[in-house]
Amino acid sequence: MTSYSYLYMENKEDVSQTQEEGSIVYVVGAIIVVAVIVAAVLMWPKNKPKETASPTPENKVVTKPTLTKLVCESEWFNPVVGMPKYYLSAEGGDVSAGTQIECEFTLLKDKEAIIRETKVVPVVQSPERGGTTFKCTTKAVENIPQNTALTFVTTVKNEEGTTASCSGAVTFR
């Protein structure tokens, strides 16, 4: 090999090595440019839309009707977290002059009472409704059949002996 050939081969290796280094520089440069653009987009202040008077959400006030007699307005149950126990509750109102209401909670399966709980609670004056209101809640009730269709009946009785009831189908899970 002549010295010229040797130098050519040596220079050829240098040139290819320089081209590889140049390619790496281009790739790193491109990554930096993309990172700067992304950072600029993320850091750029957002244009806030012109503030216009937004309509205020309507707060719907639920007003319960004026009382005209003893009434059981609603009944519900709440589970005891992590246990197969439930609190049975009901609320309603009365126009009598009594000071307490007796609430009897009954769970029926095929028209047969399987659970019966009674709770006596004081009434609360409610002049805006023209009488008194009450809310009954039992202690935690156990042994309620799970995944079975039941009828939940609440009967309320005032001191004059007048009764009212509310009922519904429930399934305890």
Other Cβ atoms closer than 10 A to 61: 5
Find, among 109, 108, 115, 90, the residue nearest to 165 by Cα. Answer: 90
Angle at 66 between CA 63 and CA 70, to 5 degrees: 120
More confident position, 17 or 117: 117
CA distance 106 to 166: 11
Domain boundaries, the chain: 71-171
Q: Which of 172, 116, 165 is nearest to 149 (CA)?
A: 172
State in words which class domain 71-171 has: mainly beta
Rounded to the nearest integer, the mean pLDDT of the chain is: 80
- pLDDT, tens digit, 9 for 90 and up, residues 85-95: 889 899 998 88
The answer to whether 124 and 100 are in contact (CB under 8 A) is no
pLDDT in tens, 18-67: 667 777 888 888 899 999 998 888 887 777 666 555 555 666 656 677 77
Which amino acid, 45? Answer: P
Task: Say how far apart CA 34 and CA 41 lie, in whole Å.
Answer: 11
Give the sign of the dihedral formed by CA 86, CA 150, CA 103, CA 63.
positive
